[in-house]
Structure 1
Amino acid sequence: MLLRSRNPLVPVIAALLGASVLLTGCSSSEKPADTQAAETAEATERTVTTEQGEVTVPAVPERVVVLNYALAGYLYDLDVPVVGTTSEDFDHEAGFSEMWGDGPKKNDTEFITWGMDGFDLEAILELEPDLIVAGGMGLPGGLASKGYDQLSQIAPTVIVNKDLTTWQEQFEFIADDLFGRADDYADRLKAYEDRVAEVKAAIDVPASPASVLTITSDGTPYLLFEDTGLPQELEALGFTAAPLVEEHGLEPYNPGGDMATLSTEQVGQLLADVPTLFITGFNTDTTDVATLAKQPVWAGTKAFSDDHAYDLPYWTVRGDYDKALALLDIIEEQFS
């Protein structure tokens, strides 16, 4: 025997639901299978425009290899899982930057052997990356561009263009273009700019203009181009960069580089009257102002004779976000 509902609305609601199901099933707005698949792919993948063309990468990568030590900090800042990276310099002992916090330990990051001939491709392959981030400035960038086809066979490979010379440009490309995290970059940029304003207001800038030099272990000096990197970081704090590269038509020691080799004669000529000099080591703390002051060629410059030559750590030459913040602390301490 059939039981009838005592609520007269129940048959009406049931009929409406049935009609709704039929209409939904027959609706011409239902998306074709290939459209649904495309939307799913769009949600799990991103397309990044690079100098090598468009590269399809995972939207949320799980195993990333970074083939330039100078770029790895950005990924740790964004909490991206870095399973492998290169050492800071191939002929120095490998070690993780203390500014990376517990990122390397949390991700079991391994060091990948590299040298003048390129990267250890077998080691990269064994790490099973789903994304390779490479490029940037210096030798690692050149090696990555040269080996791009081989790297791309292992995993989608994004080359950070060497023309992105500031940490701001590099970080923005990685955060926004590569990972779609523009807000994270904007937050960090604001924190940095707030700190710049704070330090600038607290320091007394010595005589300008200023030049920045990095010295190798054999004493060879390299002048940093005034329109890139560290000189620009100092300009933001009120230090005017001496336009030596522009005035003397100096060429980079390596094509596309950001520094020029100086001879002993050029040190005596080009730097003789520069009021302020900043001295760093080359890839490690190879020298300091006190050591250079014992050499006549340096002692005879205005900056050294007026005690306006200052030491900076080697890692300030090509800083990232964390190093840029650390540099502000150093400048504040030196000139407050």
Structure 2
Amino acid sequence: MNAPTRRQLLGTSAAGAAALALAACSGGGEDAGTSGASDAGGTSGPRTVTDATGAQVEVPADPQKIVVLHYAGTQALIDLGGKPAGTAGLGTTGGQQDVKKFTTPQIWDVMKDVPVIDDGKGNPDVEKVAELEPDLILATNALEDSLIQQLKDIAPVYQFLLRGGERKEWWVRVQQVADAVNRTAQYEKLQSDWQAELKAAGEKYAAVTGDLVVGVYDVYEEGNVYLWGSQNMAGTIITPLIPTWSAQEDQAVQGEKSAEKAVAVEQTLDVLGDANILFYGTDMTAQPNPLNAAYQGSDLYTQLPAVQQGHTYPFGKCTVAGFSDARYSLGQVTAALDALEG
């Protein structure tokens, strides 16, 4: 098929937005592919926004058919009240195959019927994207330039943050998606509520956490344990409640761009041995992947002080996609602190 060009899509986006707005006035739920209410107001012309690569991107004022090429962007869009017309699959990790376990029930309920536009291995399928005739494509800042150019022949492409030293600030990704789809007011409400939740939790558990030293890990390949330092995504959720991070772990990831690193399992006692509470990566049902479960049965792991004290707890996904992931993990942390408090 001949893919619609960016110029054709931008030329029709205003008419499409007006038609959908008229339909919404007569009632009915939000259809797949609509972004929901935005900050566009009466504006029908395109907007120019700056994406994570620094590129200036001309986007529709109120995009109605948004295709997202990575789940992190999909969760961000849904957290903002939208629904994609197409999405990348959730993927698998550490041998797990049940994709529903990688997201919250609320997110899954929105995205379960959305067409998947990747090849099953996490790579966008350009033909599948084109078939959906999007008026906006949300891509990551990790894709090859050649692929981005192909996608630009279909629709405007806005690249959001996925890789890089700043990725610990997962909320910036949500903010970027909000900017692209004109939902900044919704983002500001999400961020305000989140900061209030963190503050309240920190105050509630201050008497419990004073003597705690925390470490976070996961396992993604046999023979290695993956360390997440305090200056990473998990740290932004945990440190407002438990301020003291494992010095050994932070030392181990020092110099890494994203404060994360895989080390040999033989180094377990040297990189997590000073922590008296450990959180480990899991799916969204609090289950570790098979590789992590096997690591937890190893002799070295069982020698860790936190393990011997029974202070090991599930965290959720250490790669935080958006506010839904973050709230799940905050709940896991507070549940652990409740257990310690007795």
Same topology, TM > 0.5: yes
Structure 2 Cα separation of the partners of residues 89 and 197 of structure 1: 33
Cα pair distance change 1:276/1:287, threshold 3 Å: farther
Cα pair distance change 1:117/1:278, threshold 3 Å: closer
Shift of 1:157: 0.5
Question: Which residue type is aligned with residue 272 of structure 1?
Answer: G
**Which of these residues, 52, 56, 59, is aligned with residue 57 of structure 1?**
59
SS in 2 for 1:174: helix
Shift of 1:303: 1.6
SS in 2 for 1:198: helix
SS in 2 for 1:82: coil
Deviation per residue, 1:302-329 (Å, 9 max, x gap) = 221222222223x243241112122222
Partner residue in 2 for 1:208: 212
Structure 2 Cα separation of the partners of residues 309 and 206 of structure 1: 17
Q: Is the 8 A contact 1:217 1:282 kept in 2?
A: no
Structure 2 Cα separation of the partners of residues 77 and 43 of structure 1: 24
Structure 2 Cα separation of the partners of residues 59 and 44 of structure 1: 6
Q: Which runs of 5 or more residues in structure 1 are unaligned? A: 1-40, 136-140
Q: Is the 8 A contact 1:113 1:120 kept in 2?
A: yes
SS in 1 for 2:226: strand
Cα pair distance change 1:267/1:212, threshold 3 Å: same
1:305 aligned to 2:312? no
Question: Which residue type is aligned with residue 123 of structure 2?
Answer: G
Shift of 1:146: 5.7
Shift of 1:334: 2.1
Deviation per residue, 1:185-211 (Å, 9 max, x gap) = 121112112222332233322743311
Shift of 1:46: 1.2
1:133 aligned to 2:138? yes
**Which of these residues, 102, 106, 111, is aligned with residue 104 of structure 1?**
111
Task: Flag the structure with larger Rg.
Answer: 1
SS in 2 for 1:223: strand
Shift of 1:128: 0.9
TM-score, with length taken from structure 2: 0.72
Aligned-CA RMSD value: 3.0
- The 5-angstrom pairing of residues 263-302 of structure 1 reads 263-281=264-282, 285-287=288-290, 292-302=295-305
Q: Is the 8 A contact 1:66 1:134 kept in 2?
A: yes
Instruction: Tell me the number of residue pairs that the alignment of Structure 1 and Structure 2 aligns.
Output: 284
Partner residue in 2 for 1:199: 201
Deviation per residue, 1:111-138 (Å, 9 max, x gap) = 1223668321111111111111111xxx
TM-score, with length taken from structure 1: 0.74
Q: Which runs of 5 or more residues in structure 2 are unaligned? A: 1-41
Shift of 1:291: 5.6
Structure 1 Cα separation of the partners of residues 121 and 327 of structure 2: 31
Structure 2 Cα separation of the partners of residues 153 and 295 of structure 1: 52
Partner residue in 2 for 1:230: 234
The answer to which of 85-94 and 183-192 deviates more is 85-94
- The 5-angstrom pairing of residues 28-107 of structure 1 reads 43-50=44-51, 51=53, 53-89=55-91, 92=97, 94-95=99-100, 97-100=104-107, 102-104=109-111
Question: Which residue type is aligned with residue 57 of structure 1?
Answer: V
Q: Is the 8 A contact 1:202 1:332 kept in 2?
A: no
